[in-house]
Amino acid sequence: MAWLLVVCAGLLETGFAVCLKQSKSFTKLFPTVGFVLFALSSFGLLTLALRRLEIGPAYAVWTGIGAAGTVIYGMVFLNESVSALKIVAIVLIVAGVAGLNLAGSVH
pLDDT, one tens digit per residue, over 37-57 is 999 999 999 999 999 999 988
Domain encompassing residue 62: 2-104
Q: How many CB atoms lie within 10 A of CB 50?
A: 17
In this predicted structure, the answer to whether residue 106 has a pLDDT above a threshold of 70 is no
Find the Cα–Cα–Cα–Cα dihedral 80, 83, 86, 88, rounded to 10°. Answer: 160
Continuous segment of H or E residues that includes residue 18: helix 2-22
> What domain count does the chain have?
1
Cut 0.85: pTM above it: yes
Instruction: For residue 105, name the pLDDT band (cuts at 50, 70, 90).
Output: low
